[in-house]
Amino acid sequence: MTYRVIQWATGNVGKLSIQAIARHPELELVGVWVHDEAKVGRDAGEIAGIAPLGVSATHDVEALLALDADCVMYCPLPWQVDEMCRILESRKNIVTTCGYHHPYIQFPEATAELEGACQRGGVSLHSSGSNPGGVSERFPLTFSGWCSRIDKLVITEFGDCRHYEAPGMIFDVMLFGKTEAEARAGFMLEILKRCFYESLDMVAAGLGVAIDRYGFEHQVALAREPITTAAGVIETGMVAAQRFRYWGEVDGGPHLETRQVWVMDELPFTRFDRPWESERLDGWKIHIEGDPSFDVNIDFPAHYTGRQRTRDGMMATAAHCVNAIPATCRAAPGIKTYLDLPMITARAGRRSV
C-alpha cells in the first residue's frame, strides 16, 4: 500500500521531511503547502534541495483540502488548532512536529477539539519529533523495559543553537535574544512548560503511574558581546544560554525529569555574562536510576561540524514523524501517541534520493 502525503510548510523540518517522504517506499508526495508566496509554484524537490519530484508548492488551502490524500505532514510555525481540525475533518490523517504528543492533561481544550475532528473525519493525529516526541518520552520508555524498578529518570538535551536557521523558533519559541525579564515571564514560557510536562505525562502513563506534582526551573545567561547566529544576532545583554528543568514527582514512585541546555556559544563559553557549565555542546543523555541503573548517550559523529549536527537533529525530527505515517494512517480514529501505535522503524528506503 502507498500512502499519499501532503507536506504542510517547508522550513527546516519541512524540507527534510520532503526528503524523507521521497525516500520512503510506502509514501508518495502529492501536495505541498507553503506560507512564503515566493515558493508558490516551485517544485517540492527543488525546495528540499533534491531532484524535482513533479509536485508544485501552493498557498491554496482549499485545493489541498480537496485533494485525495491520506495524510498531512504538518510543520508550520505558528501552528493552528483550527487549521489542524479542518485538515482532519477533510479525512486526512495528520502527523506533526507541532506539539500535542500527549496532550490530555496539559491541553484539555485542544485535546477535545482535535479528538472531535479526528472522529468526524475518521482519521488520526500523531505528534512526534526528536524532542519532544522522541528522547524525552519514547526512548526512555523503551529503555525502561530493561528495569524491574525505576527510582529516577532524567533526560537531558544539549543544544548548540547557533546553526538553527529559524528566527521564529529561536527568538519567539526558544526565547533567545530576549531580555532576562521577557524570557522569564513570557506566554511562550508557559507553552514550553506545558509541552515538556506533556512529555513527563507520557512517561508516567507508560510506566503506569500519574504525576502528583510538577516542578520547573529556568536559568539564563546573557551575551557579553553581540553573537552572530544563523537566525540573527543576539545583542549584548540579551539571553544567549538557557537551562530548563521540568520535573514530575509521583508519590511513592519515580522522579521524572527532562532538561534542555540550549546555548549560543562554544565550549568553554567565554561570551556569557556569568559562569556556565555544561558537560557537552550537543546530543542527548538518558539517565536511569533503578534496578538496573544506566546512562544512554546519543552523539553525532565526532568529526561533524556544528551545521551538520543541527541539520541531522532536524532530520531526526522529520524522519521520526515521516516513519510514523503508515502506522498513523492504519490506526483507528483519534489522537494516537507512541503508547497507542506499534513500534516505529525506518524503512530501508529509496537510497538513491
Ligand X SMILES: NC(=O)c1ccc[n+]([C@@H]2O[C@H](COP(=O)([O-])OP(=O)(O)OC[C@H]3O[C@@H](n4cnc5c(N)ncnc54)[C@H](OP(=O)(O)O)[C@@H]3O)[C@@H](O)[C@H]2O)c1
Q: For ligand X, which is the closer residue by CB, 183 or 222?
A: 183
Judged by CB under 6 A, the number of residues near ligand X is 27
Residue 241 near residue 281, CB atoms below 8 Å: no
Q: Is 126 in the site for ligand X (CB under 6 A)?
A: no
Considering only residues 45, 129, 159, 206, which one is a binding residue for ligand X as defined by CB under 6 A? 129
Instruction: Check binding of 335 to ligand X (CB under 6 A).
Output: no
Site for ligand X (CB under 6 A): which residue of 45, 103, 121, 133? 133
- Pick 59 or 218: Cβ nearer ligand X: 59
Distance CA 153, CA 136 (A): 10
Minimum CB distance to ligand X, residue 118 (Å): 20
CB of 260 to ligand X, least distance (A): 11
Among 93, 124, 131, 323, binds ligand X (CB under 6 A): 131
How far is it, in rounded angstroms, from Cα 156 to Cα 263? 13
Residue placing its CB nearer to ligand X in the complex, 318 or 331: 318
Work out whether 55 is an interface residue with ligand X (CB under 6 A). Answer: no
Q: Binding pattern to ligand X, positions 65-104, x when CB under 6 A?
A: ----------xxxxx-----------------xx------
* Shortest Cβ 240–ligand X spacing (Å): 20
Binding of ligand X by 169 (CB under 6 A): yes
- Per-residue binding string, ligand X, 180-219, x by CB under 6 A, is ----------------------------------------
> Segment 9-48, which members bind ligand X (CB under 6 A)?
9-14, 34-36, 39
311 is a contact residue toward ligand X (CB under 6 A): no
Q: Which residue is nearest to ligand X (CB)?
A: 11
Interacting stretch for ligand X, rule CB under 6 A, among 4-12, 113-121, 146-154, 342-350?
Answer: 4-12
Site for ligand X contains 166 (CB under 6 A):
yes
The 3-class secondary structure across the chain, one letter per residue, is CCEEEEEECCCHHHHHHHHHHHHCCCEEEEEEECCCHHHCCCEHHHHHCCCCCCCEEECCHHHHHHCCCCEEEECCCCCCHHHHHHHHHCCCEEEECCCCCCCCCCCHHHHHHHHHHHHHHCCEEEECCCCCCCCCCHHHHHHHCCCCEEEEEEEEEEEEHHHCCCHHHHHHHCCCCCCHHHHHHCHHHHHHHHHHHHHHHHHHHHHCCCCCEEEEEEEEEEECCCEEECCEEECCCCEEEEEEEEEEECCCCCEEEEEEEEECCCCCCCCECCCCCCCCCCEEEEEEEEECCEEEEECCCCCCCHHHHHHHHHHHHHHHHHCCHHHHHHCCCEECCCCCCCCCCCCCCCCCC
- Which residues lie near ligand X (CB under 6 A)? 9-14, 34-36, 39, 75-79, 97-98, 129-133, 166, 168-169, 173, 317
